[in-house]
Each structure stands twice: as C-alpha cells, then as structure tokens.
Amino acid sequence: MGEKQVMETTEAQIAVHWQEEDYYYPSSKFIGQANLTDPDIYDRFSLDNFPDCFTEYAELLTWYKYWDEVLDTSDAPCFKWFRGGQINASYNCIDRHLKKNKNKTAIHFVPELEEERVDHITYQELYVRVNEFAALLRDFAGLKRGDRVTIHMPMSAELPITMLACARLGVIHSVVFGGFSASACADRIVDSNSRVLISMDAYYRAGNLLNHKVNADEAVAIAAKDGQVVDKVLVWQRYPGKASSDTPMVDGRDYFVNDVVKKYYGARVEPEKMLSEDPLFLMYTSGTTGKPKGAQHSTGGYLAYVTAMSKYIQDIHPKDVYWCMADIGWITGHSFIVYGPLALCASTVIYEGVPTYPDAGRSWRIAQDLDVNIFHTAPTAIRALRKIGPDEPAKYTYHFKHMTTVGEPIEPEVWKWYESAVGKGEAIIVDTWWQTETGGFLCSTVPALKPMKPGSAGPGVPGIHPIILDDNGDEVTQPGIAGNICIQNPWPGQMQTIWGDRQRFVDTYFARYCKNPESKDWRDWPYVAGDAATRSQDGYYRILGRIDDVINVSGHRLGTKEIESAALVVQEVAEAAVVPVAHEIKGKEPDLYIALKPGVEATDEIAKKISDAICEQIGKIAKPRKVWLVPDMPKTRSGKIMRRVLGAISNKGDVGNVMTLANPEVVETIKNMVDKS
C-alpha cells in the first residue's frame, strides 16, 4: 500500500506526516454474525435517495405516530427530522424490551472498590427505578415537559436512571461532566435556566472518596448571583454517613433522593408522547468564545441516528455485553453508553473510577468478569494503558469481537497495539470521527464491509457525505491535501441549534460556506465541522485536528478562550494565551502564556495561583502543563496575540518569520525561557 501524503499548509497549518498505510480485514467469523453486510447500503443512502433513506434508521424505533414529513427544511439550517412523528426515548430504551427481555441485564455497574458488589440491573428493574424517579421529578420537584434540569453527577447507575426519567417526562436534561467545577456547572445552570439541580453525595476516583455535593452548594450560590435561582437540589446518596455527613443539607432546598423516592415506590408514569423535533437534551461544549454552547439534540432524529450507529457501526446485538469507557457526561456517553445500546436492548457497562487504578489490569479484569465482547474507548486511554501495562491484556481471558476508538486522531502504532494486544488479533476496530454537535458518527468503516486502515477514520458512514473544502469554498479533490472537512447534507443526529442562540449556531457551523443565507434548500447548508482533514484515493478520511481554537485534552474538548478567561480572573494577570502542546498520553495539553500587569513580580507563587484558578473554574483537566510568565505577548501590529508563534515555541518548532510583528524581540526572549527549562 504505502501511499504518500503531501505536506500542505492550509489555514489549519497542520503538517501531515508521511506514513505507511496498511489495510486490515475483518475475519469471516465477524462477518458471519454482523448486523450489516449488505453493500447496497451505500447506494440506498446516496444523495439521490436523500432524505427518505433515513426512514430506514427511524424504523428501528417504536413510534406512537409516524411522521408527516421526513425532513422539514423550512427553518434551515435548523432542520426538523421526522416532523410530526410522536415518540418517547425512555419507552424505546426500556418499556419496549420488557415483553421479551425483562430479566436481561440492562446495566452492569462496576464500583471502584473491588470489595463492593457489582450491580446488575435488569430491564425490569430499570423500568421500576426510572418510573419511581420520574414520579418524584414530576410530583415532588414539579417538573414538566419542556423544563430543563441540570445533572451534575459522577459515573453511577443513577445517572442514566436520572436521564431516562427526564426523557420519560419530556424534561430536557443537561448533564454536566462530574469532573467539572462548581463554576462550570453554574454557567450551565444559568444558560439553561434550570431550577432543579441533580447531584450525588460522593464517588471514588483513583483511591479517594471525593465529596461531590459541595460542588452543588457552590454552583447554586454562583448561579444565584447570575440571576438563576435553583429551588431544589436532589442528592442521590451512595455513601450515606460517609461523605455526605460533612455536607450540610440546606433546609427546604436539598433532599436526599433515597429518602424522598420511598414515597413513590411502585409509581408508574406514562411516557410523554413527544414530538420527534422536541429537544431530548442539551450537551454543552466548548466554543471559540469563552461561553460554552448548549448543543440541542432532538428526540426522534437523535435517537434514530444513535440507534442505527449502535447497530451498524458498533454491531450491537441484544445478546452483547458492551462497554464504552467514556464518561456519560460527554456526548460519547450519552449516545453510546445510554441511548444507543439501551434502545437495542444490549447490556451496557458503567464503571466508577479510572482504568489504571488500582492497577493496569483493571479494565481487562472487568472485561473478563462481565464477558464484555464489544469495547469502546479513546486514544488517550489506550496510550495510558499501553504505557503502564503493555502485556496486561494477555493475562486475562476476555474476548472482544469489536473495538472502537473515538475522540482524537489515533497514531498508527497505538492503533496496532490496540489491535494486537487488547484485541488479541481477534477484534475488528472502528475509528469513529464525530462531535458533540453531530449526535453520532460521521466517518467510520462499516466493520463487515470496509477494511480498517490505522490512522484513518474511514469514509462517511451510510448517509453522510463529507467533502473537503479549501478556504475559498472550492472542493479539494487531490488526495492527501488538507482542507476543512464539511458534510454536504443534514442527517437526523445533527444538533438542532445552540440553546437560545440560533445566530451563533448559524455563524459557527454554516456561515463560512453558505452562499445564500435565505435558502431553504439543504444543499446550500454544508455543515462545517471545524476539523482539518485529508482524503486519500480510497475515499478514506484522515482527521488532523481542530482548525479553530479548541484543544483536545485526553479526548476532552476545552476552548482556549475558556482557559484564558479563567486565567484572567486572577487580578495580577494582564494577558493570557493558550496553545496546545503535544503530549504522549493525553494527545494535547494546554500551555499557558501570561503577561502580568506592570509592577507585578513574576514568581512561582503567582504561576501556581493562576494554575489553581483554572482548575477551580473549569476543572483539573484544564490544568496547564506549564504557566510561562512572559514579559510581553508577541503581537501583530493590530494588537492580536500571535498564538501561532507561541505554539511553535512550546512545541519546539520553527517560529517562522516574525519580523512583521510589533515586538519581534520578545520572541527570542520567550524562546530562550522555554528552551532553557
């Protein structure tokens, strides 16, 4: 094979390294059992058959009423899929399985403490618990269809129970990643106008019992200052008498769910007949400006799309035990721990803690003990597991038929370790490229139909038609040349809008290449993903990274502006600039450059204060690799900070010609400082 990629610089400024490209083929054993083996799928989902082809995905679900129109473009680019259809996500993930499968495990919950019992929750038990909690939300918390609720919870079985109870009532959930700080949680409470916050007392992470409820107290206080009153905090209790005992409950505001739910034992709540186009949830994600944006996902279109992706790309059958290691607080967890697998009646695994504690064998022990046969993780976890225990998987007797990677580009050598050591040469791998905004996969291989190629996500999945455009909007047709990857057509999993900010939605994802902003024709609205990519001769896409200001740390997306804004809260800071630095395990890390206010002395204490401020406001995942206290920022004559130059310095690259800058001399000073350390 050995196909050469050309070095090219677009606005993305990403060098594409030449590398050997190999194909790997699925075994006949895998193909023999696969859900999708019909090559006509690509023809059926060609643009000529758009949008009607997508009814094939919608038919995987149970509808109260079928749709009046497959795709309504009257408010383009806010597209409505399966308009007029009526459906409930909770019903589709639970009730419809009861007749045949009520005693099958829906959720395996694995606590961090190995001496604690693994919980195996059947579909019947899930039904009971979701109904009881839905009754509590409706009758005790006063929530109704269309209300928003913020959920700030760690990984636990109670998290999907909470989400599905909301979905049952038509309450729009906004789950905030449990590791995010109180202030990040508060921002999301305010933006979504949530008057109810759902939290948990505590959780274990890498050997420590972390009190989580304190975040709720702080978040509610911050939100109140910003004008959003939270009148009820519902606290799930996992460790009664332990962590919660030092967290005072506020009278009349805070309630332990475990106590209140007793009143609702045995309650049943009829699922709301939601319109297909009603929002199911908000998922906040980082943007290029400081404020995170609430990606709004629909009920019918989203659920149809993630169910189809789970069935055809993840190859999930009801008999499979499926483990996606992501956190439910990210889109991967929503789509591929909760909604997709449960809609298909699979058993989904949820675990508390981290894969590398108490030792590098934990993941493989879980896989072995639960008979996991489909495994889903991210390059950052694969790199970490490879580093601390390259031979660990061989000690355990699990067998995977299928493995996924998601979240960042995966280096071919890491891919190969994943295939041989983790997959034991028996499992197929799908590299799935997609985003919070896209609900489900955009590019990947259909595992029984297309060979795998380490380092490339693959072609568009059936129904997705990618195109690479240059900065002028012309198609880049030459293989190996980088450009901006866009999707030519809408699809059912696509976000509907940014919560409360339609203009930002249009500006961020469409404005760049839309030639006619008045158009009601979907062809005029290519979706701009914000990633740079190349396409090779075989039609496979290789994703190179973000073209905008988003840094992907361990698969978590952080806006450079978010981190900079957090640094600027420290009163001694004058200017802040964040650039991504390559990191062996995490993929990227933020490097933070700070110019202090005049007269402020640059000390280690101040650098630490800034770093702490970021952890406090955003969370530990945003902690800078290093805080560089510099005399001045390199700037253009118009005063713009040249992040490109700082990025080159941090990554020990070539800073290029800096003579046109307003202050070229500072570049050398900063370079010396970084090179010396």
Distance CA 484, CA 461 (A): 18
Element (H, E) at 236: strand 232-236
Amino acid sitting at position 46: S
The least distance separating ligand 6R9 from the CB of residue 309, rounded to whole angstroms, comes to 11
* Smaller CB separation from ligand 6R9, 553 or 577: 553
- 529 and 486 Cβ atoms separated by less than 8 Å: yes
Nearer to ligand 6R9, 371 or 507 (CB): 507
Partnered with residue 151 across adjacent β-strands are 175, 198
User: How far apart are CB 604 and ligand 6R9 at their closest, in Å?
Assistant: 33
Nearest approach, Cβ of residue 498 and ligand 6R9 (Å): 13
- The nearer residue to ligand 6R9, 51 or 439, going by C-beta atoms, is 439
| Nearer to ligand 6R9 (CB atom), residue 63 or residue 418 | 418
- Output 94 or 309, the one with its CB closest to ligand 6R9: 309
Do residues 404 and 432 lie in contact, with contact meaning Cβ atoms separated by under 8 Å?
Answer: yes
Strands 105-110 and 347-351: parallel
**C-beta of 375 vs 628, nearer to ligand 6R9:** 375
Question: How many Å apart are CA 241 and CA 459, to the nearest integer?
Answer: 53
Handedness of CA 248, 252, 257, 260 (dihedral sign): positive
Cα four-point dihedral sign 525, 529, 531, 537: negative
In the complex with ligand 6R9, the residue whose CB is nearer, 86 or 377, is 377
Closest to 153 (Cα-Cα) out of 130, 132, 180: 180
Minimum distance, C-beta of residue 615 to ligand 6R9, in the bound complex (Å): 20
- Closest alpha carbon to 125 in 147, 149, 145, 98: 98
Given the complex with ligand 6R9, which of 111 and 466 has the nearer CB atom? 466
- Residue pair 525/76 in contact (Cβ under 8 Å)? The answer is yes
- Nearest-approach distance from CB 188 to ligand 6R9, in angstroms: 15
Q: Residue 621 or 658: which CB sits closer to ligand 6R9?
A: 621
Task: State which amino acid sits at residue 396.
Answer: Y
Nearer to ligand 6R9, 421 or 529 (CB): 529
Cα distance between residue 163 and residue 492, in whole Å: 21
Q: Are 53 and 571 in contact (CB under 8 A)?
A: no
Closest distance between ligand 6R9 and the C-beta of residue 305, in Å? Answer: 13
Pick between residue 271 and residue 590 the one whose CB is nearest to ligand 6R9. 590
Length of the chain: 677
DSSP symbols for 139-163 = HTS---TT-EEEEEE-SSTHHHHHH
Which residue number, 149 or 295, has a Cβ lying nearer to ligand 6R9? 295
Min. distance of Cβ 488 from ligand 6R9 in angstroms? 17
Burial of 396 (0-12, 13-18, 19+ CB in 10 A): middle
Q: In the complex, what is the shortest distance from the CB of residue 415 to ligand 6R9, in angstroms, rounded to a whole number? A: 11
| Smallest gap from residue 192 Cβ to ligand 6R9 (A) | 18
Report residue 287 CA to chain centroid gap. 13
DSSP string of 615-631, one letter each residue: HHHT-GGG--SEEEEES
**Per-residue DSSP letters for 303-350?**
HHHHHHHHHHTS---TT-EEEE-S-TTSHHHIIIIIIHHHHTT-EEEE
| Bond into 358 cis (ω within 30) | yes
Tell me the longest C-alpha to C-alpha distance in the chain.
74
Task: Say how many C-beta atoms besides its own lie within 10 A of residue 371's C-beta.
Answer: 13
- CB nearest ligand 6R9: which residue? 436
DSSP state at residue 53: G
Peptide bond between residue 77 and the one before it cis (omega within 30 degrees of 0): yes
CB 443 within 8 A of CB 435: no
Distance separating alpha carbons of residues 444 and 486, to the nearest angstrom: 15
Alpha-carbon gap, residue 590 to 577, rounded angstroms: 10
User: Can you name the residues that pair with 593 across neighbouring β-strands?
Assistant: 577, 628
| Shortest Å distance, C-beta 208 to ligand 6R9 | 26
Q: CB 635 → ligand 6R9: shortest distance, Å?
A: 28
Rounded to the nearest whole angstrom, what is the least distance from the CB of residue 527 to ligand 6R9 in the complex? 12
Q: How far is the CB of 562 from ligand 6R9 (least distance, A)?
A: 14
Angle, helices 604-617 vs 560-567, to 10°: value is 120
Specify the residue for token string 């390059």. 379
CB of 542 to ligand 6R9, least distance (A): 8
Q: Which is nearer to ligand 6R9, 431 or 562 (CB)?
A: 431
Distance in Å, CB of 380 to ligand 6R9, minimum: 11
Q: Which is nearer to ligand 6R9, 285 or 650 (CB)?
A: 285
Instruction: Name residues whose C-beta falls within 8 Å of residue 577's C-beta, 6 or more positions apart in sequence.
Output: 560, 564, 592, 593, 633, 641, 643, 646
Q: Nearest approach, Cβ of 152 to ligand 6R9 (angstroms)? A: 18
Encoding tokens for residue 221?
A: 């206080």
Closest contact distance (angstroms) between CB of 535 and ligand 6R9 is: 14
Kindly list the residues in this chain that would bind ligand 6R9 in the complex (CB under 6 A): 285, 330-332, 406-409, 431-436, 457, 529-531, 543, 545-546, 552, 555, 557
Residue (298 or 552) nearer to ligand 6R9, CB: 552
Compare residues 530 and 647 and give the one whose CB is closer to ligand 6R9.
530
Closer CB to ligand 6R9, 19 or 193, in the complex: 19
